[in-house]
Structure 1
């Protein structure tokens, strides 16, 4: 009896030992297997992140960025685990890897040969984690490798790879290792577009990966981790229900984002990008139209202000040589126009006014205001739309309603009208502290007269006053609209201002020319100045007509702020007799062409037709085709082989340039000029991303060729090209020709920065004919 019991106990012991051995072998296999399982799971989730980011960035380098970022993060976490690094060494090595390899993965165009980082690369990687998010949401997709925008997916996948691998291999909670990668998928969809790549496949795939990977992680944790039986241990069934609930919740969130049957909500829908005022023409361009077309038309009415009050339409600070326009950004590249809340925090002090404005025939986006606006209350049927699209610039005291205003609209302003400084305060004021955008190259005549007219001035305010007095006292007033008026061309381009200053004793123009001239003269003397455009409330009533249009010059002076000057002569100062042929402009002397030589008599007796002459020279004119073929084979063919491609490239480039320069549409000529500049840079070895905006392309060129920021301003050319493309006003042939002159100057600057040999070889380069990849 006892023997049987002993045998049974021995058999049970052997069976238990065998089970223990099998369990140990299985545990050892599971300890080896999860390395591959974790890598496969993270790789599949990385593919889901590619699908999430793909609509925003487009096909191409996003695959390298996401997969490479995940692999780099996993590799760093694995090395950290093997070397038993703590958080500090891991973060330190991660930063080194970020700056060494981040350029290859996120900014390949900024690297040398795609591999070696440049200063531009390091700067982009340094600021990208903070600033790239904003740009990703405000720049229209596909983003491609524009600037440092791919830093966003690289940061998400790099950090996600590190955290996921660390959770899977080094933490006591390996079942949540999927969370960073799924968060990356959610971020990709959030910053994406309304179009998804295989949305249902991605959602279901993520669910399957999460459930399977979590189950395997739980099994590994149960068989390899030493745990005491305690109340903390969750029963397997309850744990499985929790994991499944979490996975289903994540899938539900994903399906809500990627459901192709609904209008998806993405973050870019909620982000308001800075207002771009350059899409509208300069309001100063319509100055003369007020006189010629709307002189007696009631534009709007103003209540609550005295006669003589200036109603501001817009403040103009950016001058590109053709037009004075409203600035988008200040010197620190901060947006000037912002949405406002309950009130406008303008610190201007002065007399408070409640002003009621009712719009009649006035149209546009520029909201008429008075002084420094502190609050706007819109009325009427469009009050909500107008309020939602209202922007204001405190520094320029200009207001915009992006949806436009028109007949029937009305609103109430709370405004502060500052007190005008005295003449003595102006004459003793120094230059104010206000940074302005760079001016184009102006004619020497502007600076010369500004220096002469301000001779003896004690301060900046005195200089500005002397210039204003000289223009108003010696200039002549004329709109040039009526036949009895003296001829006066509209506009305020460099050529028009040059024409105005040709003869300082015969200057003819109106507010448009004189205000711009004074502003440019002050700028040439280093004094901040700008032009303000608007209307002056008349003595007869509240109604504002086109005849009330005015333009002034504002100068920034220390302790006084912006001070308004009126450099325009009095309207009754009219030049009665003016003969353009007596202008002091020097004209080039052109000699009369010599008389044409006498032609011989065509009917001479010796003029016989070839048919009348005897054919006794047939041998003399016989063609030796054999000799020609031999000569061609020995000399001509090698020359064609050697020089044929050269001539072909030069001819094709010349035809391409001619087609761009003489396109039927003037705007196509301007955009063709910009393309000519980019092709020249590409032939020289500098390829800019075609997905980048013109401003970004110009910034890239300026970094590589600093001369384009001084001698030939590439950024100015980019702005002019954008203006010609998006502005409602058509481009004139003169503007297109002037733009091509700037392009030719920029091309010369480009070729002047390299050796002559490289410059000539660039003319034969075919890089500009190839498609971007």
Structure 2
């Protein structure tokens, strides 16, 4: 970086004010993605840090590394007040938790800003995005403007901020083309004014011409794009990123079914006030089965069970109030079709929590999970009653879902039998026949140990196969029956899903033993209709008892067991049989190759060659920044000679600069090295010392010559030159180190000897003085 042009206070203030205003304007698309003005504070703070840090580094003549360290320290000191004020002490002073959020936000904040529903708040480190964008963009623009030879390129930093803000915005951003056009015009006028600020000209005419040219080009480009692209819509990154379901911190909701009545059978989970008669209490809705568990799908973000968006606050008069007790998890209890929800929390006010709602399922999720004492007010609307679909209703196959990849032939055969017995022809009749078949032919068991028919938990494909293995003794509970029915209906091409909830007739205080599950199928013109395939709890199979009066059998003497001869090794398959020799050889080769790669990485990281590159870098900086202008001038030529040695050219150290340049001219003709040697000799041996501008210009020519020397070198020599030790005078370094150590030792020894001699002299003088005094007294 060079700093040739003097910067006056007025010019710096003008540049800083324009850059800050243009940067904020460039980041304006983020206003559609964020709620409130907290993002403006974070963005402006990042811009100020970038501008002030770059200007201070220029003042101190710091390089890129020290500048980056300065900006990192400023980010850690000021960042908590800008991006994590709720974690900072008093909203300003950094704390350990604020620093943790700030640092993790540099990685997680970008993902959260794209995957969380808009408008974004100040939670989940999303404010790190405008802070970092403003800091990096302002630093890039200020570096080009104040620390390079290309100040006109400073607009790239502002353009980069606009591009990032637009991609992290929403499709609802108003007039993005007009914003970009206005930003481009202002940038061009400012950069042109800065370059010609000392020239007298008609600036209104220039501004008008610039605006006209840019506007005509923009209109022409827009017209061509509209004519060729058709009905194209604006694309943003959040449209191509799946929602972060891991933020909800849940596994399959249905897999926890048995734990509710085994561990929380009599525990109060929550209370619902205002619960209407017959309403179903819902927890979670699952529409994807992977053969192991039912879960929330990620198939169709626009309509599936994973299409969560920010929940609207409760506003209607049809509400219920839910008070959480011992219930825990991400799913908020609701009834019917929930449309809005409000939260009054008695938990940790500093906890990062957020309410989400699924428009397709009506489910409400709480990121971070519900807590004891939370009170939810939920707007709800009635849903179709169980089995209320018309008999001729057709399934709504416009709903996207994945058919199960695995088939259960016994379940298919059993369902076809029930459908044939019921004479079902329409989709509604088929769903009702399958539900009735399970509820009438099956038996109920919770799997408790005190029951006569303890059954296994789970609802995977293996458990469903065991359920229907013996149609005369199907035993299970809601978990198995709801899973089996939804599995079969999806196999038949009908949109079915499993709902985990609680029995509504047990309210208003619900306990773990009230857990329930059912199936919902979507029909055209009706919506999602519930079906209950689970048999009644009192429908249990008869106990199979052994005959109490078995026929006695006579005692039969069993023949003795004769010992057998031990098996011989002859004819036995050798260990490792079944594996081909080629397969074993490949496994061994791949294992050895993996060890070699790991060892190579370790050796590369621990290689002393990195120290060579660091030594050369420090050496070049010392030569470039030496306070003595003559030493700095001669250091430029020494840098050329050292680069030639690294590239494989041997130069005797007894040669003069001109002699060395003649040798190098044949090897690197495009570098034009003889003039450099002549200029260095003229200034070093001349009567007048060079000025600072002449030294800077000489070093600029040196950098150009070094680039041309590298281009003239063979291609295989170029990467080796960075790590070549040829330019490091190891002997002279060793001798100088020994000499410095010897000089230091001599200084220490001489100082100690001097103190001793001085002490002896003082003692002698004291003795002579005492003798003279005694003699005088005599």
TM-score by length of 2: 0.43
Higher relative contact order (CA 8 A, sep 6+): 1
Larger radius of gyration: 2
So what's the TM-score if we normalise by structure 1?
Answer: 0.43
